[in-house]
Structure 1
Amino acid sequence: MIDRDALRDLLAASSGGDRAAFAQVFQAAGPRLYGIALRILRRPDLATEALRRHFARLWAEAAAFAEEADLVAAMAADVRAAALDLARAQPEGVFALEPFEVEEDLEDPLESAPHSPDLHGLLTCLGQLSEERRRMVLHAYYDGWSREALSVYFDAPIHAVNTWMWRSIGELDAGLRP
Structure 2
Amino acid sequence: MAASRRRSIFVLSALNEFDYEAALAACAAGEHAAMQGLYEQEGARLLGVVQRIVRDRALAEDIVHDACVNIWTRAASFDPTRGSARGWIYSVTRNLALNAVRDGSREVGVDDDTAAALDARASLEAWHDMADAFAWQASAGRIAHCLEQLEPVRRNCILHAYVDGFSHGEIARQLDAPLGTVKAWIKRSLAALRECMA
> Structure 2-normalised TM-score?
0.46
Q: Give the AA of the match of 1:14.
A: C
- Which residue of the other structure, out of 146, 157, 164, is the alignment partner of 2:122? 146
Cα 1:140–1:54 change in 2 (3 A) is closer
Alignment length (residue pairs): 111
**Aligned pair 1:83/2:97, yes or no?**
yes
- Quote the Cα distance in structure 2 between the aligned partners of 1:131 and 1:89: 20
Alignment match, 1:13: 26
Instruction: Report if the CA contact (8 A) 1:50-1:79 is conserved.
Output: yes
Instruction: Kindly state the Cα deviation for residue 132 of structure 1 after the two structures are TM-superposed.
Output: 7.5
**Superposed, which structure 2 residues align to 1:1-40 within 5 Å?**
3=17, 6-40=19-53
Q: Distance in 1 between matches of 2:39 and 2:47?
A: 10
Cα deviation per residue 1:51-95 (whole Å; 9 max; x = unaligned)? Answer: 1221111111112226453111111111111001001111539xx
Root-mean-square deviation over aligned CA pairs: 3.4
* 1:19–1:135 CA distance, 2 compared to 1 (3 A): closer
Deviation larger for 46-55 or 59-68: 59-68
- Alignment map for 1:57-72 (pairs within 5 Å): 57-65=70-78, 67=80, 69-72=83-86
Q: Which residue of 1 aligns with 2:150?
A: none
| Counterpart Cα distance in 2 of 1:15 and 1:43 | 31
Higher CA-based Rg:
1
Alignment map for 1:52-131 (pairs within 5 Å): 52-65=65-78, 67=80, 69-92=83-106
The DSSP-based 3-state class of the residue aligned with 2:49 is helix
Q: 1:72 to 1:92 in 2, by over 3 A?
A: same
> Taking structure 1 as reference, are residues 83 and 131 closer, same or farther at Cα in structure 2, changes over 3 Å only?
closer
Kindly provide the amino acid, as one letter, of the partner of residue 159 in structure 1.
L
Amino acid of the residue matched to residue 84 of structure 2? D
Cα distance in structure 2, aligned partners of 1:134 and 1:16: 44
Q: Percent identity?
A: 21
Question: With structure 1 as the length reference, what TM-score do the two structures score?
Answer: 0.50
Residues 106-127 of structure 1, C-alpha deviation per residue, up to 9 Å, x if partnerless? xxxxxxxxxxxxxxxxxxxxxx
By how many angstroms is 1:13 displaced?
1.4
Query: For 2:29 and 2:111, how far apart are their aligned partners in 1?
Result: 53
Q: Report how far residue 20 of structure 1 moved.
A: 1.5
Which SS does the other structure have where 1:92 is aligned? Answer: coil
* CA shift for structure 1 position 47: 1.2
Residue 159 (structure 1) aligns with: 175
1-structure distance, mates of 2:74, 2:54:
25
- Whichever residue aligns with residue 55 of structure 2, its letter is R
